[in-house]
Amino acid sequence: MRSVINYIKEILGGLRTLWAGMRITGKYFVRPGEIVTQKYPENRNELTMFDRFKGEVIMPHDENNQHRCTGCGICQMNCPNGSIEIITRKEMTPEGKEVRVIDKHVYHLGMCTFCGLCVKTCPSDALAFGQDFEKAVFDPSKLTKILNQPGSTIKKDVK
């Protein structure tokens, strides 16, 4: 008789735990207010990322099309896998001295691991992280970007 009672208790106990689990899923089934997904391409206008989001490395230019990069090459030395290439050229200043300025700051987005060392070690704070994250392209050569815009010059007060 004892084994029959245990048997029935087993069945009822099992059913009770199953019902407890079903209550949780049932609770979420009838609450569409708890839906956590967003309809992505339609909500691009309202979508804001956090300020520090690491979307890509950019060189901020101000309204006079000036940047802060001196072409020193410290970011290239610090990049662990060679995603940055600095190409410089020589230029004559109005005083007659020959200085080195940045010609092209080549950034391979396809190889970058977003470690942040280039942004951190730049002595003139020329680089920053941008927030654009839609980077998928069909052509891999589009992933090699030149960070300084054409015709831009360096700001006056950068050492």
Is 20 one of the binding residues for another protein (CB under 8 A)? Answer: yes
Is 29 one of the binding residues for another protein (CB under 8 A)? Answer: yes
Tell the residue number behind the tokens 């700001």, with chain if given.
155
In the list 9, 13, 47, 140, the residue contacting another protein (rule: CB under 8 A) is 13
- CA distance linking residue 59 with residue 6, whole number of Å: 73
CB of 93 to another protein, least distance (A): 28
**Region from 8-16, 65-73, 91-99, 148-156 binding another protein, contact rule CB under 8 A:** 8-16
In the list 60, 80, 100, 142, the residue contacting another protein (rule: CB under 8 A) is 80
- CA distance linking residue 98 with residue 90, whole number of Å: 7
CB of 79 to another protein, least distance (A): 8
Bridge partners, 98 (sequence order): 92
Structure tokens given for 49: 């990322």
Structure tokens given for 155: 């700001």
Query: Do 49 and 131 contact (CB within 8 A), yes or no?
Result: yes
Is 34 one of the binding residues for another protein (CB under 8 A)? Answer: yes
Is 128 one of the binding residues for another protein (CB under 8 A)? Answer: no
Q: Is 153 helix (H, G, I), strand (E, B) or coil?
A: strand
Query: Do 69 and 105 contact (CB within 8 A), yes or no?
Result: yes
Sign of the C-alpha dihedral computed for residues 48, 51, 56 and 62 taken in this order:
positive
Query: Do 68 and 158 contact (CB within 8 A), yes or no?
Result: yes
In the list 129, 144, 152, 158, the residue contacting another protein (rule: CB under 8 A) is 129
* String marking each residue 86-125 x if it binds another protein according to CB under 8 A: ---------------------------xxxxx--x-----
Contact residues for another protein, defined by CB under 8 A: 11, 13-14, 17-18, 20-26, 28-29, 32, 34-37, 39, 49-50, 52-54, 78, 80, 113-117, 120, 129
